[in-house]
Amino acid sequence: MKVSSQFLTPQSFLERSVGAFRDKEAIVYRSSRWTYAQFATRVNQLANALKNWGLQKGDRVAFLCPNIPPMLEAHFGVPLAGGVLVAINIRLAAKDICYILNNCGARLLFVDTELSHLVAPVRDELETVEEIINIVDTQIETTGEKLPGTDYETFLTTGTSDPLPSPLTDENEPISINYTSGTSGQPKGVVYTHRGAYLNALGEALELGMNNNSIYLWTLPMFHCNGWCFTWGVIAVGGTHICMRKFFPNTVVSLIMDERVTHFCGSPTILIALANDRAIKKLQLSHPLRVATAGAPPSPTIIQTMEELGVDITHVYGLTETYGPHSVCEWQAPWDDLPMAERAKLKARQGVPYIHAAQMRVVDKDMQDIPADGETMGEVVMRGNNVMQGYFNDPEATELAFRGGWFHSGDLAVMYPDGYMELRDRAKDIIISSGTNISTIEVE
């Protein structure tokens, strides 16, 4: 390693923050709280346990788990052991989970016991999984059954809390694989790198104005683009994770007020559910609350409704192939003087590239920029630090997605004279449910 540089990896975030914020709360989940020092201890135990088990560099480790602390531990512990994290969508059917596990070649599968029914029917069809680890959430009365295998807490005891040296020899090595679906109906593994995750995590934190006083509530699934990399980004700034197993509007409102939540993310569906729930009437904000929304274009009405409650909405846009958001509707000071309805219409646009993403265009079929007239439609194409490395073991799909030297989103948009982009349609034949893409073939 050169004196003048080091590999970019999210692993360095925890190393730095545990030194700077050792006794500060890193994670809150129901009645339990962990400091940065305690979190680092568990991460090191997980990494050492994986190494002792026999995990080799590049091996895939799958987690089927909701937004609870073990999922956060996995985002640091698995890469520290040299593994590649595969966080699986807990809303999928058993056959799709089986396909993903076989496709990525996962050697280990960690399963929350409440989700064991998604694995049990296909357990004998798993071709590469050598062991299943049961995650038992002691904070709830779980209804799930354990699968044959070790308990998570027992597994942790097989590893020491001694820090491991970074296994990286190249910052462009894979850190995770996130599966998405498209018109073919077959999930594709999207490969994220250590470098891309590092830059995207910092970009997310910067765009949302996060710092070591930030309190982040997990309404966005951690399995979705690794939680847009906020799994790493919150740790990078020394903030606090508030874990939430399931989304309930009344729980969100209570946590916002009790824990003084400063940030959360979610699809417009989440915002609509909050706005329409009677619990929202209890929301009395005495502190700033900034929310990033994506997954579908939010209506000006829902933006206006949330902002009238004192919530600052930031609209972002991206895909699984771009680590989550690639563009943001950057706010302009002159817009402050406009009527609320006009401000909401402007905020509903998808905006400009993230600071770390740099390049985004709207082009015609010949890859020429469309007129910036707010009317002519073209396809959104991107390139930059937060574009995937490629599709796992699928060079043909990767080549097609990267044709012409740009990643093709399949989304149609217009460009305005001020350089802001706005989506008009989805070219891909997909349905969006709670911010997650679902192919129509799967529905049929």
Ranges of each domain in the chain: 35-169, 195-443
pLDDT tens track for 341-364 = 898 889 889 999 999 987 999 999
The string of pLDDT tens digits covering residues 23-63 is: 999 999 999 999 999 999 999 999 999 999 999 999 999 99
What is the pLDDT at residue 193? 99
What is the pLDDT of the chain when averaged over all its residues? 93
Mean pLDDT within 115-126: 98
Is the pLDDT at 428 greater than 80, yes or no? no
Worst-scoring range by mean pLDDT, 162-171, 178-187, 226-235, 236-245? Answer: 178-187
**What mean pLDDT do residues 203-222 have?**
98
pLDDT at 241 exceeding the cut of 60:
yes
Domains 35-169 and 195-443 share a fold: yes
What per-residue confidence (pLDDT) applies to 427?
66
The mean per-residue pLDDT over the stretch 201-213 comes to 97
Q: Residue 317: what pLDDT?
A: 95
User: pLDDT by residue (tens digit) across 264-293?
Assistant: 999 999 999 998 888 888 888 889 999 999
Poorest-pLDDT segment among 1-5, 90-94, 391-395, 436-440: 436-440
Strand order in the sheet with 378-383: 359-363, 378-383, 407-415, 421-426
The predicted pLDDT at position 299 comes to 83
Q: How far apart are CA 264 and CA 252, in angstroms?
A: 10
The percentage of the chain sitting over the pLDDT mark of 90, rounded to a whole number, equals 82
pLDDT of residue 433: 59
Q: Is 443's pLDDT higher than 90?
A: no
Residue 301 has a pLDDT of 84
Task: Answer yes or no: is pLDDT of 219 > 50.
Answer: yes
Q: What is the pLDDT of residue 436?
A: 52
Instruction: Name the CATH architecture for the domain at 35-169.
Output: 3-Layer(aba) Sandwich (3.40)
Q: Is the pLDDT of residue 182 over 80?
A: no
Q: Mean pLDDT across the stretch 314-319?
A: 94
Does the pLDDT value for residue 430 go beyond 80?
A: no
Q: What is the pTM of this model?
A: 0.94
- According to the model, what pLDDT value does residue 131 have? 98
At 442, is the pLDDT very low, low, confident or very high (cuts 50, 70, 90)? very low
357 or 428, higher pLDDT:
357
CATH of domain 195-443: 3.40.50.12780
Q: Stretch 311-328: mean pLDDT, rounded?
A: 95
pLDDT per position as a tens digit, 373-425: 999 999 999 999 999 999 999 999 999 999 999 999 999 999 999 999 999 87
pLDDT at 143 (0 to 100): 76
pLDDT greater than 60 at residue 153? yes
Indicate the pLDDT class of residue 429, thresholds 50, 70 and 90: very low
